[in-house]
Structures are given as structure tokens and as C-alpha cells.
Amino acid sequence: MIQGTAPNRAMLADFLRSRRAQLQPEDVGLPRAPRRRSNGLRREEVAELAGISADYYSRIEQQRGPRPSEPLLNALADGLRLTDDERDHLFRLAGFPNPPRHLHDRPAAHLLRVMRQLEHTPAQICSHLGETLHQNALSIAVFGDHSRFAGLRRFWAYRWFLEPGERLLYAPQDHDRISRAIVAEVLATHSAGPSSPDACALVEQLLAQSPEYAEVWAEHPVFEQDWPRLHLRHPIAGALELNSDYVVDSDRSQFLAVFTADPGSADEEKLRSLLRAAAPGSSAP
């Protein structure tokens, strides 16, 4: 474990206070109490978001107690909705090096801002190792809820090559192209620098258990951003043809995938029907 340097407790406390002052309860999904007078989040609300006791969090702001651990700093950064740059600053104030961004298991804030404007088209934020970090309602309606997966099943490569049912949604004509794209992205991520334990375990298992994966891996495929149309066989909507477009994060650790139908097409109407069915309170099947 990297020990880092001595924390700057005063600056750390000031930084945490400043960031909680910038948030309101509704910004983080908490109810606003009637006649609330305080501006920003209360200490106990930040503690609740981070999964720690209010007393422990208060001691951090009061510059008392042990130095916060790296997992705790990540929990505070998530709770306070810090950007990647703010998260790095938080770690430095606590005396740790910047956390490796490719290991972040939360969607980048700027990609989320773009995604929230895409209510009427399927969109999802993924890591370059193939883990879905966030989906909008229409993405869940089209591709299923990826938040239910745990362990190595979080990664699309694992499900695609080791679980035959994963391919049922995709027309057979796309299978070879998707296989090569998945391997290319995992290969690029794995070879770009020090790999995470998840990346090492994923590659090791796929090479050992999937002859198809091993064969494509040996060819050293390169991921191509310009994808052709995606052909789906949806259990409710039937045949769907969607365009695939990607917005890649500046450090290439994440990307936003957007799937659009041609304007005025039957596929566009099918997406509208799926969105209506996914709306809260809908009686549609």
C-alpha cells in the first residue's frame, strides 16, 4: 500500500466544508425538511451519503482522529458529487497520491451531464474494461439492467464469451464484429499501463475458458470507433436497428454510448413505445 505524505488536516476540513455548502439535499437525493434554515448539506447528511457515522465525519472536519482511508475518501467524493479533479485534490489533502482514474467505479460527472439530456434515446456510460457504470431508463428497457451483475459478470466481455444467453439480444450477423470489438477494447485497456486486479482476473479467465476469446486475442485486434448499425432482436419490440455513437472521456477511462434510431423510422417508434412502457406508473407490459 502506498503510504503517501502527511495530511493537511486544516485544508482537508475546509475543502469538505466548502463542498458540502455547495450542495442541497435534493441534489443528492435526500428529502428537504420543512422550515430548513441551514444552507448546504449538514454533517450528518454527508456522513449518511458516505456510509459512516456522523461523529466520525465530524471529527474529520474538526481535524481530529486518524487520517481518512482511501476507501473512505472515495465514499466522501461520491457522496459530495466531486469531479475527478476535485477527487484528486481531496486525496492530495489527505496525503495520498491521486487515485487511478481507470479504477473509478462511478460515471464521470461531465458524461453524466450529457447523458441526462438524452431521455429519448438509449444511453449508457461504460468503463473501457466494459463495465456499465450508469444507464438511463431507455437503455435499461433495450439492453436490460446491468446493475444486477456482480463480480466479473459486471464486465460485458465475461458475459459475452462465457454466458451464451448474453448474445440472444443481438442478431447473429453482428456477433463476430462485437466479439472483435470487445476483445480489442479489453486488450487496449489491459496493455495501456498497470492493470487493475479485475482486469487481470478478467483476461486470465477469458483466455483460459473461452477458445473464441483466445483466438481473437492472439490476432491483436484494434478497436474502431466508427461502428456500423447495431441489429437487435428485442423480446418486446422485435427487430431493432440502431446507430452507435461514442463520446470518449479525455483520459480514455470511460465512454458514453448513445444508440439512435433513424428519424421517422419504425425503429424510432419502437423506442418511444419502450420508453412509455418504462415510465413510472405505466400499465404497459
Could you read off the pLDDT of 39-95 as tens digits, one per residue?
789 999 999 988 899 999 999 999 998 889 888 998 898 889 888 778 889 998 999
Q: Is residue 65 part of a domain?
A: yes
Give pLDDT, residue 100.
58
Residues 228 and 172 grouped into a single domain: yes
| Residue 259: how many other CB atoms lie within 10 Å | 22
Give pLDDT, residue 70.
86
Residues 85 and 133 grouped into a single domain: no
Across the chain, mean pLDDT equals 87
Residues 260 and 134 grouped into a single domain: yes
CATH of the domain at 123: 3.30.450.180
- How far is residue 225's CA from residue 84's CA, in Å, rounded to a whole number? 24
Give pLDDT, residue 1.
42
Residues 116 and 37 grouped into a single domain: no
Q: Is residue 191 part of a domain?
A: yes
Per-residue pLDDT band at 2 (split at 50, 70, 90): very low
CATH of the domain at 81: 1.10.260.40
Give pLDDT, residue 253.
80
Query: Do the beta carbons of residue 99 and residue 88 sit within 8 Å?
Result: yes
Give pLDDT, residue 281.
59
Q: Is residue 285 part of a domain?
A: no
Please identify which residue in the block is written with the cell numbers 493537511: 8
The percentage of the chain sitting over the pLDDT mark of 90, rounded to a whole number, equals 55
Which domain covers residue 50, as residue numbers?
9-99
Residues 206 and 264 grouped into a single domain: yes
Residues 223 and 250 grouped into a single domain: yes
- How far is residue 89's CA from residue 136's CA, in Å, rounded to a whole number? 29
Task: Decide which of 75, 99, 123 is a domain's last residue.
Answer: 99
- How far is residue 112's CA from residue 136's CA, in Å, rounded to a whole number? 10
Q: Is residue 47 part of a domain?
A: yes
Give pLDDT, residue 159.
98
- How far is residue 177's CA from residue 175's CA, in Å, rounded to a whole number? 6
Query: Do the beta carbons of residue 100 and residue 88 sit within 8 Å?
Result: no
Give pLDDT, residue 280.
67
| Residue 244 identity | S
Residues 196 and 91 grouped into a single domain: no
Query: Do the beta carbons of residue 81 and residue 26 sit within 8 Å?
Result: no
Query: Do the beta carbons of residue 81 and residue 28 sit within 8 Å?
Result: yes
Q: Is residue 104 part of a domain?
A: no
| Residue 135 identity | Q
Residues 86 and 115 grouped into a single domain: no
Q: How many domains does the chain have?
A: 2
Give pLDDT, residue 75.
87
Residues 154 and 16 grouped into a single domain: no
Residues 164 and 246 grouped into a single domain: yes
Q: Is residue 177 part of a domain?
A: yes
Query: What are the tens digits of pLDDT across the range 13-31?
Result: 999 999 999 998 888 888 8
Residues 205 and 76 grouped into a single domain: no
| Average pLDDT value for residue range 137-148 | 94
Is 279's pLDDT higher than 80?
Answer: no
Q: Is residue 4 part of a domain?
A: no
Query: What are the tens digits of pLDDT across the range 89-125?
Result: 999 899 987 665 544 567 777 788 888 888 899 999 9
pTM: predicted TM-score of the whole model, two decimal places: 0.67
Give pLDDT, residue 117.
86
Q: Is residue 3 part of a domain?
A: no
Residues 136 and 239 grouped into a single domain: yes
- How far is residue 124's CA from residue 107's CA, in Å, rounded to a whole number? 10
| Residue 103 identity | L
